[in-house]
Structure 1
Amino acid sequence: MTALVRAAALTNFPEVAQELGYDPGAALRRAGLRAQLVREPDQLVEADRVARLLEDAASQTGCESFGLRIAARRQLSNFGMVSLLLMHQPTLRQVLLTLIEHLHLLNERLAIQVEDVGSMVVLREELALSEPARQSIELAIGVLYRMCEALLGDRWQPASVSFAHEPPADPAFHRRFFRCRIEFDGGFNGLVCRAADLDVPNPGADPVLAAYARKLIATLPDDRQRSIDQEVRKAIYLMLPAGRATCKSVALGLGMSMRTLQRELDARKLTFKQLLNDVRQELARRYVANSRYSLGEVAALLGYSTHSAFTRWFGAQFGCSPEAWRGSRVDSPTPRTTRAVQSRARKYGNTAIK
């Protein structure tokens, strides 16, 4: 089943494109999208087309912060009917959990996880896309940051933001946008904040309006069945870098027993092992291509405890060693050492944070 996203994902694309001297209408047509979609936010479009559109726009304009510039213009209302439900939740933690509950109405490729790590919380965010989608990731994390800021105001003071991709040549816009420490080449995509911030009462919350919003959302047409393979893939994307992508953990994360998950996958002639392998292949292409990651670090991010086990798996999948695959595609700086990354991983449950 093709994964879809609300056309609201294109909100402000024309304005940012025009500011950079790029023709938004022509760009949309090249991506196979109708130009008027930007005025039809509730229409559903292919998520992969939107991701390619953003990557092409960044490439053509030479603007590595294209996705983040769109996020800078976003408002909470861009979530559509779901926004009314979000703004009336009692705490930011409940806002995030409610957002996760309704992600299938917004973007079927997007996955978010709230993970408590001592006094801190890691907000992991991933897009289950087969191709690298730097701009879409930065847009998604930027929108999440803006949502938290809109709800908490000056009380929103995250500790850091992390991107798994390499830094831009000029990170000035990123520094202006995020009022916190930024880490590129991190072990995950997402934000880190204090747990206490998520539990501060929302003074604008109204339980009556929240209940009304839920009733409105329940009336929305929902003729698309939730795809179990997409849900499992998204869960694996989130859990794999943390070393927790087991069938049991994924089942628990999806609110079902392992037996039920296996039965649903069997009905679609799929196995958990197959989906895990597919996600590993997709992430391996991203991480191995970025030589700022040592191959030992890539092995850890893909859930392998030893470099040799990762090398054997990689050879079976791609027909060559990871060293040879990397050498044939990139010629960039020497990989960093993994000591600092491993130290952060131990501190935050395999979550890399500077």
Structure 2
Amino acid sequence: MSNLVRSASLTNYAEVAREAGLNPLALLAEVGLNPACLQDPDLRIPTDAVRRLLEISANASGMDNFGLRMVETRQLSNLGVVALVAREEPTVRRVVRAMLRYSHLLNESVYAKLEEAEGVAVIREALLLGHEGSSRQATELLVGVMFRNLKYFLGPDWSPIRVCFTHAPPRDPGLHIRLFGYVVAFGQDFNGLVCTTRDMDAPNPMADPVMARYARQILDATAGAGRMETVGSVRHILLVLLPSGDCSIEQVAQQLGVDRRTVHRRLLREGTTFTDLVNTVRREMATHYLEDGKRPMSQVADLLGFSAPSAFSRWYKQQFGEVAGRRRRPEART
């Protein structure tokens, strides 16, 4: 059985291909990929097909930095549910460990490891594809995405000690220098990033340990074959998806690997409904956030998946019979 990767790995592929004068749909067909993978980031597609697609595209365009071109506009959200775990971890070290721990949910062919010694932190990344042929483009995409994600947490001015690639330098290193700076090095003994342990110690101001725990629980459940034997599995998924603003029953079913009718049927069997569970989870989290008092009301509304604070206020009054501000700690109301 071939290893699989989320189709989010092809984010920006069509745009880069067209800019290079290529026909992205024709190239997808050449490697046996469905065009739907350019629209739905959560499809599971063969990693070797993605590798071949990037190498064919690089050769056809004459751009030996094709994979890196796909990195320039990547966002943390391209990691899907894994991003919800990472953004709630308290330090950059914990962020990196979370991304590495769950990397197999994004790409089953990735081997990644964080090593620290004497003030230096090394993030090693490798693609274990079991094939013959170049993986240059996929490797540069992999390392580039990690680099972009670290800048999300460490700031736009952050730079690692070194960005390492095992392959030879490109004909024109301009894009590499623009993206990574003059710290990029080729012909190294591993692919990845060299940082400082101080970088790893940096706090993540967006962190919420409660949400991080819930997010880890759902990812652990997903990694265990996506089973749903109790209401708890659905609760865990809701706790992770609520802040994204899309916690529909279709999204929950997708995380569990079943259809929406199966989710509905199983919940009814256990004496509840999807709507009831959504309200239960929101009540629990609303109580936590308002009693904690560290977040403004608008942010609480966002974290609970409401489109606007007014929608949150109406829901809260309906659920608790009082206005939301009354539950906040006195020192948090000012």
**TM-score over 0.5 (shorter chain):** yes
Task: Provide the C-alpha distance between the structure 2 equivalents of 1:18 and 1:112, rounded to a whole number of angstroms.
Answer: 31
Q: Which runs of 5+ in 2 are unaligned?
A: 227-334
- Partner amino acid, structure 2, of 1:38: L
The corresponding residue for 2:50 is 50
Partner SS state of residue 142, structure 2? helix
The corresponding residue for 2:150 is 148
Q: Does 1:157 align with 2:159?
A: yes
Pick the structure with greater CA Rg: 2
Q: Does 1:200 align with 2:202?
A: yes
The corresponding residue for 1:317 is none
The corresponding residue for 1:278 is none
Task: Provide the C-alpha distance between the structure 2 equivalents of 1:221 and 1:111, rounded to a whole number of angstroms.
Answer: 16
The number of equivalent residue pairs is: 225
TM-score w.r.t. length of structure 2: 0.65
User: Is the CA contact 1:163–1:185 (under 8 Å) kept in the aligned structure 2?
Assistant: yes
Query: Moved runs in structure 1, 4+ residues, more than 4 A?
Result: none
Q: Does 1:4 align with 2:4?
A: yes
Give the drift of 1:176: 0.2
Partner SS state of residue 71, structure 1? coil
Give the drift of 1:218: 4.4
| One of 166, 169, 177 as aligned partner of 2:168 | 166
Q: Which runs of 5+ in 1 are unaligned?
A: 225-354
The corresponding residue for 1:87 is 87
Q: Does 1:182 align with 2:184?
A: yes
- Partner amino acid, structure 2, of 1:151: F
RMSD between aligned residues: 1.7
| One of 129, 133, 136 as aligned partner of 1:134 | 136
Task: Provide the C-alpha distance between the structure 1 equivalents of 2:18 and 2:213, rounded to a whole number of angstroms.
Answer: 40
User: Is the CA contact 1:159–1:180 (under 8 Å) kept in the aligned structure 2?
Assistant: no
Deviations 1:93-116 (A, max 9, x none): 111111121112100111111111
* % identity of equivalent residues: 43
The corresponding residue for 1:33 is 33
TM-score w.r.t. length of structure 1: 0.61
Give the drift of 1:151: 1.1
Give the drift of 1:133: 0.3
Task: Provide the C-alpha distance between the structure 1 equivalents of 2:220 and 2:121, rounded to a whole number of angstroms.
Answer: 30
User: Is the CA contact 1:157–1:180 (under 8 Å) kept in the aligned structure 2?
Assistant: no
Deviations 1:296-318 (A, max 9, x none): xxxxxxxxxxxxxxxxxxxxxxx
User: Is the CA contact 2:105–2:223 (under 8 Å) kept in the aligned structure 1?
Assistant: no
Give the drift of 1:210: 1.3
Give the drift of 1:179: 2.5
Equivalences for residues 236-255 of structure 1 within 5 A = none
User: Is the CA contact 1:113–1:124 (under 8 Å) kept in the aligned structure 2?
Assistant: yes
